[in-house]
Amino acid sequence: MNKVASQTQNDILNKLSDIAIIDEKVMMPMRDGIRLATDIYRPKSKGKHPIIFSRTPYNFNSWGNGKQRTRTAQRAYEYVKKGYAYVVQNERGRYYSEGEWDILGVPLTDGYDAFEWMKNQSWSNGKIGTLGCSSTAEWQMAVSALEHPSHAAMVPQGFGAGVGRVGNVNEQGNWYRGGVEQMLFFSWLYSVEHDKFKPRIPQGATQEDLIRISRFYDLDPENPKVDMSEALNHLPIQDILKNINGKHEIFDKMIRRKPNDSDWFTGGIYHDDKDIGTPSFWFASWYDVSITPNLMLFNHARNNSKDAFIRDNQYLIIAPTLHCAYTRATENTIVGERNIGDARLNYDEQITKWFDLWLKGESNDFKEITPRVQYYTMGSNQWQFSNAWPPENTEMVTYYLNSSGNANSRFGDGKLSRVKAKKDIPDNFTYDPMAPVPSYGGNVCCTGNAVKGGSWDQQDMEARNDILVYTTDILNQDTEVSGFIKSKLFVSSDVKDTDFTIKFIDVYPDGTAYNLDETIQRVRYREGYDKEVFMKQGNVYEVNLTPMSTSNLFKKGHRIRVEISSSNFPRFARNLNTGGNNYDEKIGIVAHNKVHHSSIHPSQIQIPIVKN
């Protein structure tokens, strides 16, 4: 760590020491005897204090270097200054916490037991709020369903990997999209998983010993740098981490799990058969990996929680940023290469008021002045507000795919039209899994250098013949699209199984084509994730893809476009087209795929257009 960063960290810790009682390496007991390493920062002032609780797999040791630790100290300082105790804890099996770690599989009871321990402390007022983004958010929803009486409020941010099944969306913690593996976890596990042969602190070590040795032994492995753009190309995909000398015990079992495997339902992720039992302030973002399941979970909690009080206390912010990048918005926010204007918002002020309302019992004006849904519309580049998602004045408008059988590339004749094609002249393309369509931009996270996130001009990509391109006529008026974008394709192939992808795009008058969202569907799962139904050559099949989501103003003179293909790699794992397991295969076969469009086979996209 350089001298400037070191001084910054020391300054924050010194400021924190002036106002807080700091209790490090408190080993909080769980019901099975495992102890979780916990740091507690609480005001020096007497009395009982509400608690902000963050549980994480990441290193927050206040000694040594690292941005995570500086952020922890800074956040602790800000909350202690406001009269809160700030408590941060490592998940079981991480760093100084005892036990074995299992991503998405940490026992739900760990959260409940932590609440029980904290509410019984002499300095606690018995009210606990949970806060965090990504891995520090993803455990909150399932624990909320346990309805511990002290869990008074939560602020989950970028929480997609905590969502398993919501309605017909079955992502199993971002591992899947449409039955296809999202390769972000391949990269993420390489960077964070601790080896099973890691050094371990003897169970039962005292707090004094743990504090002392944490100054010398950080337990934070530094993995050799890997070119993920190259590493993710390896086949079979079950050997990707092994091939780069990564830790792969957890990966080995997860790569074999099918989308409806019972193991997904025994761990710590949330499914829609559980209740949300906590007032919740949700944070999502347009270019996050899981925007659609995030928004569906908000709606599920808003409409289906068994308690009307809980249903009425669900709030949502949707920012136009990448994963957990809310506060990086500036007066000229650029996501990818698209400038989307001044996307700043008073996040911290709103979160503080939220917690003050529920944890301190303050009669503030949060509910009077805070819209139910705050969302940023790209194109018009402004924050907007509604009482629901999608906005109430949204109408689903159907556009049909049309062509004369030559929609290949942006130079073809593919059209999006309000009228169905009369004759079925399908568009054909060849999908070779050894030469997949590369991921370029998009709603991504955690893939290292393998995928650029955000909005990028797709024109060069659209010169490929294995991408079908369908575009509306030039719009004669501003058209706001805000909500879930549904797509239905009628397809056929000469292989037993393949994938179909779709990308939603804003085309500028000069031809610049900015991606907004994208999705994929493995055809074997078209009838549900509890069974595999393979294709037969010559048959046409209906495929409904997971909805996409956005809020974007297509200005007058722009056009709306969709791209269709069979790969988006390495964001999504390649389908080798064999009908086999895919994860243990090295050799793929070429698929000759067709998209049909006619009155009998009306391939279409349904777009949520906001009516003025």
Spatial contact of 283 and 323, defined as CB atoms under 8 Å apart: no
Residue 57 in domain: yes
Query: Could you tell me the sign of the dihedral formed by the alpha carbons of 244, 249, 250, 253, in that order?
Result: positive
Q: Which of 610, 329, 604, 561 is nearest to 462 (CA)?
A: 561
Residue 470 in domain: yes
Among candidate residues 76, 107, 136, the one where a domain is terminated: 136
pLDDT at 218 over 90: no
User: 3-state DSSP helix/strand/coil percent for the chain, to nearest 5?
Assistant: 25, 30, 45
**Higher-scoring residue by pLDDT: 468, 61:** 468
The DSSP line for 93-123 is TSTTS-S---TTTS-HHHHHHHHHHHHTSTT
Q: Supply the pLDDT for residue 195.
A: 84
Per-residue pLDDT tens digits for 481-512: 999 999 999 999 999 999 999 999 999 999 99
Residue 84 in domain: yes
Which of 12-21, 215-224, 559-568 has the lowest average pLDDT?
215-224
Residue 169 in domain: no
- The residue written with tokens 């279409």 in the block is 604
pLDDT at 200 over 90: no
Those residues whose C-beta lies under 8 Å from the C-beta of residue 303, and which sit 6 or more positions away, are 311
Cα–Cα distance, 450 to 442 (Å, whole number): 12
Among candidate residues 117, 136, 155, the one where a domain is terminated: 136
Among candidate residues 87, 117, 136, the one where a domain is terminated: 136
Which CATH number goes with the domain that contains 539?
Answer: 2.60.120.260
Longest Cα–Cα distance in the chain: 79
Cα–Cα distance, 344 to 328 (Å, whole number): 8
Cα–Cα distance, 498 to 510 (Å, whole number): 34
User: Is residue 394 within a helix (H) or strand (E), and if so which, with residue range?
Assistant: strand 394-402
Spatial contact of 88 and 76, defined as CB atoms under 8 Å apart: yes
Label residue 150 by pLDDT band (50, 70, 90).
very high
Number of domains in the chain: 2
DSSP one-letter code for 580? S
Side by side, which strands form the sheet with 270-271?
Answer: 169-170, 163-166, 270-271
Query: Could you tell me the sign of the dihedral formed by the alpha carbons of 286, 288, 289, 290, in that order?
Result: negative
Cα–Cα distance, 599 to 578 (Å, whole number): 31
Q: Supply the pLDDT for residue 311.
A: 98
Burial tier of 415 (Cβ tally within 10 Å: 0-12, 13-18, 19+): buried
Query: Which tokens sit at 169?
Result: 């969306």
Q: Supply the pLDDT for residue 1.
A: 46
Residue 238 in domain: no
pLDDT at 433 over 70: yes
CB neighbour burial string for 283-294, b if at least 16 within 10 angstroms, e if fewer: bbbbbbbbbbbb
Angle (deg, nearest 10), helices 3-19 and 67-81? 30
Query: Which tokens sit at 23?
Result: 């209790």
User: In degrees, to the nearest 5, what angle opens at C-alpha 587 toward C-alphas 586 and 593?
Assistant: 130
Residue 117 in domain: yes
Q: Supply the pLDDT for residue 4.
A: 45
Residue 316 in domain: no
Cα–Cα distance, 501 to 524 (Å, whole number): 14
Which CATH number goes with the domain that contains 4?
Answer: 3.40.50.1820
pLDDT at 267 over 90: no
Per-residue pLDDT tens digits for 523-568: 999 999 999 999 999 999 999 999 999 999 999 999 999 999 999 9
CB neighbour burial string for 65-89, b if at least 16 within 10 angstroms, e if fewer: ebeebbebbbbbbebbeeebbbbbb
Label residue 220 by pLDDT band (50, 70, 90).
confident
Q: Which of 43, 257, 298, 260 is nearest to 160 (CA)?
A: 298
Label residue 223 by pLDDT band (50, 70, 90).
confident
Spatial contact of 263 and 255, defined as CB atoms under 8 Å apart: no
Which of 119-133, 205-219, 518-532 has the lowest average pLDDT?
205-219
Query: Which tokens sit at 138?
Result: 């993803």
Those residues whose C-beta lies under 8 Å from the C-beta of residue 546, and which sit 6 or more positions away, are 169, 177, 178, 292, 519, 520, 521
Q: Residue 69: which domain range? A: 1-136
Cβ atoms within 10 Å, residue 474 = 11
Q: Supply the pLDDT for residue 68.
A: 56
Residue 75 in domain: yes
**Amino acid letter, 28:** M
- The residue written with tokens 């609440």 in the block is 115
The mean predicted confidence, pLDDT, of the chain is: 95
Cβ atoms within 10 Å, residue 368 = 6
Terminus-to-terminus CA distance in the chain, angstroms?
Answer: 54
Is this prediction's pTM over 0.85? yes
SS (H, E, C) 539-579: CCEEEEEEEEEEEEEECCCCEEEEEEECCCECCECCCCCCC
pLDDT at 602 over 70: yes
pLDDT at 372 over 70: yes
pLDDT at 464 over 70: yes
